[in-house]
Structures are given as structure tokens and as C-alpha cells.
Amino acid sequence: MSLATTINNLLFKRTSTFLLTVAACTFFFERTFDGSTEYLFEKLNEGKLWKHIKQNYEK
């Protein structure tokens, strides 16, 4: 049984497993996507955000 067959039988064949797969993938996708976009935003706005200039104003 090839990998494609295994994937099809386990994940895509039934609607329930398909949706479960989507839900599980969404969880990881959200984590990575949110994290990476947040990181990118902070990288592009280096030195402009409050948390970067906080130490200049707070004791």
C-alpha cells in the first residue's frame, strides 16, 4: 500500500476523518501562521513598538 493510498484511506475517504484532519491541521496552521506573521511584523517594525522602547520610559 503506497503512501497515497494510506493517506486516502485514513484521511480523505470518510467525511468525518476528512473534517477531523482539517481541524487538526488548522490548529497547527494557526500556530505557525500567527507566530510567523507576528514575528515578521515585529521584525519590520523593529524599534517602533512599545515593547522595544519600553525601557527608555519605565524605571
Partner 1 sequence: MLQSTKLSSYVRTANQVISNNLKTAAPNAIIPKKLVTAPPCELLLNESLRHHQPIGKIVLKSGPAFSTQVRMAHTDIRVPDFSYYRRTEVMDPNKKSSDSREARQNLTYLISGAGVLGGVYSAKAVVTQFLSSMSASADVLALAKIEIKLADIPEGKSVTFKWRGKPLFIRHRTAEEIDAEKNVAVSSLRDPQHDHERVQRPEFLVVIGVCTHLGCVPIANSGDFGGYYCPCHGSHYDASGRIRKGPAPLNLEVPTYEYVDDLLIVG
Site residues, partner 1 (CB under 8 A): 2, 4-5, 7-9, 11-12, 18-19, 21-23, 25-26, 29-30, 33
We find the least distance from the C-beta atom of residue 26 to partner 1, in angstroms, to be: 5
Cα 38 from Cα 49, distance rounded (Å): 12
Distance between start and end Cα atoms, the chain: 65
CB closer to partner 1 out of 8 and 45: 8
Nearest to 10 by CA among 30, 24, 29: 24
Q: State the nearest-atom distance from the C-beta of 52 to partner 1, in Å.
A: 19
